[in-house]
Structure 1
Amino acid sequence: MQATRKTVQCISPSGLHTMSYKEWGDPLNPKVLVCVHGITRVSDDFDALAIALCQDYRVVCPDVVGRGYSGRLRNPMHYQIPQYVSDMVTLLARLNATTVHWFGTSMGGLIGMSLASLPDNPIAKLVLNDVGPVLNPDALARIGDYIGQDVRFDNFEDAQEYIKSISLSFGPHTPEQWEKLARDVLRQNEDGQWVRHYDLGLAIPLKASTPEMAAIGQNMLWAAYDAIKCPTLLVRGEKSDLLTTASAHEMAQRGPCAKLVEIPGVGHAPTFVQPEQIAIASDFLLNQV
């Protein structure tokens, strides 16, 4: 089974940009599953999940703007959730999808949560992978430290080791899986060096954030979460430093009262390339709630 890569044109306050996406399965299947990656990852993260589910769904996996094969924004301050939600609405219009199921890892979960909170939204089932309204500031600082670093490597092996070193919280993976996780987010520049496949400007809005802005954002995210009406699955890595145990349990008690599943031995965030993790998602998505 192979995916088809397509593009859709989106708009930001500073102009037009393209968003690339991978589409798996029957393009006429009315059952659509949208899978959206984390802040520095790409659509290829969902290859294993898409292969497992593309007999049941038309699986659509975008590269969020600024990452992978999508365009870059002229003003990096627009690399924020409202812009991403706007782009996803454009994508859903292109797909002609009136209802969808949504799987979002970290940032992809925040996009899904924000979209699912809107009146008349199309999300019928929502999977939040290791993310919620409360984002641990220490974890955000850890992530922010490496996002804007202009690291370059002369060979793929060193680049792969770097990606693995900043991704150890993903949990145990085979050497082949680690290679793919690295290859998906690396590219060679014009000098033949291996660099990360995203706009380093992603770090600019993070660095501009203040504690006051973060507090306002958290209140807005809780309001969005509480407005969600669809069945929701919350997956937490047992060792996650982004989504705390307390926050996860609060999410299970309020708003959509998410079904909570913890994955042992994994931090932020489960990759859903392992069969037992894929089974968690497929059981929730394909069965009645």
Structure 2
Amino acid sequence: MTSTSGMSATSSSAAAQSAPRQRYVQCASAAGLHRVAYTEWGDPANPRVLLCVHGLTRSGRDFDRLAAQFAGTYRVVCPDVVGRGLSSWLANPNLYTVPQYVSDMVTLIARLNVETVDWFGTSMGGLIGLGLAGLPETPIRKLLLNDVGPHLEPGAVQRIGDYLGKPVRFESLRQGIDYAAFLARTFGPLTGEEWREINTPLLREEGGEWVFRYDPRIAQPFGAVSEEAAKLGEAALWHSLASFQGPVLVVRGEQSDLLSRETVAKMVETGHAVSSVEIAGVGHAPAFLSPDQIRIATQFFIGAAPEAS
């Protein structure tokens, strides 16, 4: 017969594992040291890790719903890429590039003390994952690329550059949430509560007003990429895709202006085990908040669809 106190301790342990835990890891760049924040879900001793990495100006808290769904199977780790969320800002803004982000993720994986990880990357997070996946002895086992690939459509890059790093301040948190929702309107038809959920972590109070947490200087290297450098970067990512031996799922929003159907088709041809799925009624990039979208990720990583919540 189980004692009441034993049952209580078990329940408390389960509750603690299902709640997010805020952690930090110290990383290095050519300009010195910085901290990368990450939110962790599930059993911290679980060797099966899912890394969820966000888009250009977003945060790891974009994945709260997906992480809660996966926490029973995985130790889910959702970093704030340096310069975003609760992570440090780099002393040298020219280092806000994929190679630095890959280096930081290698350090984070070492902190987690695991040999392999599965990777869910949205937009920039997918490019970081692709960069790491193509390296010899990569720790990545499975890779989901959410609305991103080696080739980025120039019009979408220009659209992002038009708002990136611009100085905006808001009189209220609500105003900031609504503005972030406007910028991310192509994520899909989210509810007001869903926008509040994923956009609140992007904002902080400063002098009685609200501002974005991300370092506006991330716009400097983004806007300084020459046509030649862009072509070299694209070629490197195509090489990474061709080199990676594990399964890849490319998810495309039906109305995406960043990832074309032609690029998806080329990715399927180029990789060793690449499949794709398109989500109707969504642009760049699917938010993975709804059960049907989470089901896509679950089928890929676990092999069984989750129960509807």
Equivalent residue number for residue 276 of structure 1: 292
> Which has the greater radius of gyration?
2
Q: Distance in 2 between matches of 1:281 and 1:210?
A: 35
Q: Which amino acid aligns with 2:272?
A: P
1:117 aligns with 2:102: no
Counterpart contact for 1:104–1:112, Cα < 8 Å: yes
Q: Which amino acid aligns with 1:25?
A: G
Counterpart of 1:150 in 2: which secondary structure?
A: coil
Equivalent residue number for residue 285 of structure 1: 301
Tell me the TM-score normalized by structure 1: 0.97
Q: Cα deviation per residue 1:117-164 (whole Å; 9 max; x = unaligned)?
A: 111111111100000000111101111111110100111222222111
What is the correspondence of 1:75-154 to structure 2 with a 5 Å cutoff?
Answer: 75-154=92-171
Equivalent residue number for residue 232 of structure 1: 248
What is the correspondence of 1:125-274 to structure 2 with a 5 Å cutoff?
Answer: 125-189=142-206, 191-274=207-290
Aligned-pair CA distance for 1:260: 0.3
Q: Which amino acid aligns with 1:153?
A: F
Counterpart of 2:23 in 1: which secondary structure?
A: strand
Counterpart of 1:184 in 2: which secondary structure?
A: helix
Partner of residue 3 from structure 1, selected from 7, 20, 35: 20
Q: Distance in 2 between matches of 1:115 and 1:256?
A: 16
Q: Which amino acid aligns with 1:98?
A: E
Counterpart contact for 1:251–1:257, Cα < 8 Å: no
Counterpart of 1:19 in 2: which secondary structure?
A: strand
Partner of residue 61 from structure 2, selected from 44, 58, 68: 44
Q: Cα deviation per residue 1:145-185 (whole Å; 9 max; x = unaligned)?
A: 11110100111222222111111100111110011222121
What is the correspondence of 1:44-83 to structure 2 with a 5 Å cutoff?
Answer: 44-83=61-100
1:15 aligns with 2:39: no
Q: Distance in 1 between matches of 2:72 and 2:235?
A: 39
Q: Distance in 1 between matches of 2:50 and 2:276?
A: 20
Aligned-pair CA distance for 1:75: 0.3
Task: Name the stretch that deviates more: 267-276 or 204-213.
Answer: 204-213
Query: Once the two structures are aligned, what percentage of the paired residues are identical?
Result: 52
Task: Name the stretch that deviates more: 217-226 or 15-24.
Answer: 217-226
Aligned-pair CA distance for 1:257: 4.0
Q: Distance in 2 between matches of 1:180 and 1:58?
A: 22
RMSD: 1.0
Counterpart of 1:34 in 2: which secondary structure?
A: strand
Q: Distance in 2 between matches of 1:31 and 1:181?
A: 25
Tell me the TM-score normalized by structure 2: 0.91
Q: Which amino acid aligns with 2:58?
A: R
Counterpart contact for 1:33–1:100, Cα < 8 Å: yes
**Runs of at least 4 residues of structure 1 off by over 6 A?**
none
Q: Distance in 1 between matches of 2:194 and 2:174?
A: 14
Equivalent residue number for residue 4 of structure 2: none
Q: Cα deviation per residue 1:193-242 (whole Å; 9 max; x = unaligned)?
A: 11111000100001111112111111111111111111111100000000
Q: Which amino acid aligns with 1:144?
A: G
Q: Which amino acid aligns with 2:295?
A: A
